[in-house]
A and B are shown apart, each in its own frame.
Chain A
Amino acid sequence: DAKTTQPNSMESNEEEPVHLPCNHSTISGTDYIHWYRQLPSQGPEYVIHGLTSNVNNRMASLAIAEDRKSSTLILHRATLRDAAVYYCIPAGGTSYGKLTFGQGTILTVHP
């Protein structure tokens, strides 16, 4: 499994953009980069995933570096509901479901 490095914590103000970085320098060529988040007392929630190109969905955008050794999850306008632990998870092959969660980044959103 590829190792990931994420900041332990980040803070943001409501309605401001948030950029959550992740380093995954040992990622394999076939691994997708997944992002999940876990709100307090809830199960993890899928956010987005991508392989090489930047990706957008209704929740967030994912910017992937050209060498794929890092990525950034972008929340365009943070809300209080976005306060959660965010996990960056490289995974691929036939074991997508075998996701290895690290410590993640605790995002605090201030009103």
Chain B
Amino acid sequence: DTAVSQTPKYLVTQMGNDKSIKCEQNLGHDTMYWYKQDSKKFLKIMFSYNNKELIINETVPNRFSPKSPDKAHLNLHINSLELGDSAVYFCASSHHSDTGELFFGEGSRLTVL
């Protein structure tokens, strides 16, 4: 029974396409996050939502749009995909926004050709 689950796990697509990655957590947490891990393995936060409200929005192109239909879900939609978007995207959740204990999903590897 996976705590933070992401779909799809792998995604291969062409430049210019639009794609979405879905994330769900069954931990009853209030806060959810999207992190990006690039080819050099650096992990950087992209967005954070607390009770469906955006609280962290790092310098991310506006082609990336997170959507939180309820506090258990945080989806990431990416428009007009570029080669540089190829990365592993991790969803995470935490009990509240002021805790340092995050639970991460297994990641979604996006490859843009």
Which positions in A face B, CB cutoff 8 Å? Answer: 32, 34, 36, 41-46, 49, 85, 89, 91-92, 94-103
B100 touching A99 by the CB < 8 A rule?
Answer: yes
B99 touching A97 by the CB < 8 A rule?
Answer: yes
B20-73 at interface with A (beta carbon < 8 Å): 31, 33, 41-45, 48, 56
Given contacts A96-B98, A100-B44, 16 further A-B contacts (CB under 8 A): A43-B90, A43-B104, A44-B92, A46-B101, A46-B103, A91-B100, A96-B100, A97-B33, A97-B45, A97-B48, A97-B56, A97-B97, A97-B102, A99-B43, A99-B102, A101-B42
Q: How far is the CB of B54 from chain A (nearest CB, A)?
A: 12
Q: Which residues of chain B come closer than 8 Å to A85, judged between CB atoms?
A: 41
Q: How far is the CB of A56 from chain B (nearest CB, A)?
A: 16
Q: Which residues of chain B come closer than 8 Å to A100, judged between CB atoms?
A: 44-45
A46 touching B102 by the CB < 8 A rule?
Answer: yes
Closest chain A residue to B56, Cβ basis: A98
CA gap between A49 and B41 in the complex, in Å: 22
- The B interface, classified by DSSP as helix, strand, loop or mixed, is strand
Closest chain A residue to B107, Cβ basis: A43
- Selected contact of B99 from candidates A41, A96, A102, CB within 8 Å: A96
Q: Which residues of chain A come closer than 8 Å to B102, judged between CB atoms?
A: 36, 44, 46, 97, 99
Q: How far is the CB of B2 from chain A (nearest CB, A)?
A: 11
CA gap between A101 and B107 in the complex, in Å: 16
Beta-carbon contacts of B59-98 to A below 8 Å, as 1s and 0s?
0000000000000000000000000000000101010011
